[in-house]
Copies of this chain bind each other. A is one copy, B any other.
Amino acid sequence: MTTRSVELLRVVHAHPGVTRADAARRLGIGTGAATELVSRLAQAHLLAEAPAAPSGARGRPTTVLVPHPDGPLVVAAEITHEGWRLDVVELGGATLTSVSGTHTDTSWPSVVATVNAATDALYKTYPGRLRAMGVSVPGTVSRTLRLDATNLGWHDVDLTELWPSTVFVAGNDASLAAAAESARGAATGARLALHLRIEGGLGGAAVDQGRLLIGASGYSGEFGHMPFGDPGISCPCGARGCWGTAVDGTALARHLGHPAPHDPVSYARRVIASAVASRHGVLVAESLAAADGGSVGGAESGEWQAVCTVAAALGRGIAGLVNGLDADLVTLGGVGVDLLAAAEAEIQAAYRAGLMAIRRDDPPPILPAALGADGPIAGAGEEAWSSLIPHLA
């Protein structure tokens, strides 16, 4: 209803369990106004007050602001190649219920029917409380909420079929993971956070002071199609030299002379794990010196080589993005986490070499995503709450 209510709800959502006095300070209002505001929002079943844990400090104890037990909820949905998942998320980001399933039939009408049935069941569990939905999908989402996911054969399908009501947001999985990392993950507090997610390709997004950069048509964050790669390699997107073709599972396969893997994600994980294992073998062998004359297997060191090449391509591209966008933090998701764990030194070396000299003194850190596989659905919940809050009272 009023600006202050919206601001207060935002503060409580961003910092669930904030004390009332602290919230008032953040809003820059007096305690009188805070009393009024909180009691109004409590009456509207949006907030509840709970006694605070003893702080140990002096002074009259304050209460903490928590979501109302009968308050509004959002449904965060994630649709992947393999299946679907729905989380019921309350103000503050906590998940109350989670249901999931795998696709029996990946045709769009079938998926819609399955998800709608699951949503109906949740409606019955939380009567009248589900007020918005956010959905993460493995493809590009236009501003008009139409989805293209080529590998699933979905072309220009209407996402609003998933949720009849008005407050509905949808986004690409990598973009939403970026939003989640920024709101509750490793990128909390960053001014310009960059999230990169390697799965079938390379996606991601930039988050500027908490605001997800959505781009003009909703297709933002296709960093995988910036030409940081080898111009000789053509990408399924139609361009050449795309960065994505240099860092995903198909890149590893190409370096190893393998055919393009059917499932690049698990292929990449396997290769990376095997490369790390064989490298340990090499190190052990080297440390054992000439104890025995046997040479290390060629395939294994080839795998390590391929991983290093990919890691260098990743680091170099990150440097380019950091130069251009002036990020202060980079988080990696998907296979990027494995790569970072396996070959951090190689990524860092290429990253630092690609940075402008003025940034080298204090290079923005590259961190693994804190939310792991839950990033996209958490981001869906965040974005749903962000759009819902202004509609509440």
Instruction: Report the nearest B residue to A227, measured CB to CB.
Output: B320
How far does the alpha carbon of A213 sit from the alpha carbon of B364 in the complex, in Å?
A: 18
A193, closest chain B residue (CB): B216
* A226 adjacent to B226 (CB under 8 Å): yes
- Of B219, B239, B355, B356, which one neighbours A319 at CB under 8 angstroms? B239
Q: Is the CB of B353 within 8 A of A221?
A: no
A57 touches B (CB below 8 Å):
no
| Whole-angstrom CA separation of A357 from B219 in the bound complex | 13
Contacts of A140 in B (CB 8 A): 358
Report whether B353 and A237 are in contact in the complex, using a CB–CB cutoff of 8 Å: no
Pair B358/A219 contact, Cβ less than 8 Å: yes
Would you call B327 and A215 a contact (CB within 8 A)?
A: yes
**Who on chain B is nearest to A228 by CB?**
B227
Q: Is A3 an interface residue (CB 8 A)?
A: yes
CB neighbours (8 Å) of A216 from chain B are 190-192, 326-329, 364
Q: Is A157 an interface position by the 8 A CB rule?
A: no
A359 CA / B217 CA spacing, docked (Å):
10
Question: Quick check: A227 and B325 within 8 Å, CB to CB?
Answer: no
Known A356-B237, A356-B238; judge A323-B226 contact (CB<8 A).
Answer: yes
A197 within 8 A of B: no
Q: Which size class do A's interface residues fall under? A: 35 or more
Contact yes or no, A222 B324, CB < 8 A? yes
Cβ proximity bits A311-350 to B, threshold 8 Å, 1 near / 0 not: 0000011011101111111000000000000000000000
| CB atoms of B239 and A353 under 8 A apart | yes
Q: Which residues of B contact A215 (CB under 8 A)?
A: 191-192, 325-327
Q: Which of A141-158 contact B (CB under 8 A)?
A: 148
- In A352-366, the 8 Å CB interface with B consists of 353-360, 364
A355 in complex: contacting residue of B239, B359, B360, CB < 8 Å: B239
Q: Is the CB of B237 within 8 A of A357?
A: yes
Among A140, A238, A323, max chain B CB count under 10 A is at: A323
Determine if A195 is an interface residue (Cβ-Cβ < 8 Å): no
Provide the residues of chain B in CB contact with A278, threshold 8 Å: none
User: Could you tell me if B190 and A323 are in contact, using CB atoms closer than 8 angstroms?
Assistant: no
A residues 176-203 near B (Cβ < 8 Å) are: 190-192
Indicate if A304 sits at the interface (CB-CB under 8 A).
Answer: no
Q: Is residue A168 within 8 Å, beta carbon to beta carbon, of the partner chain?
A: no
Question: Is the pair A217, B328 in contact by a Cβ cutoff of 8 Å?
Answer: yes
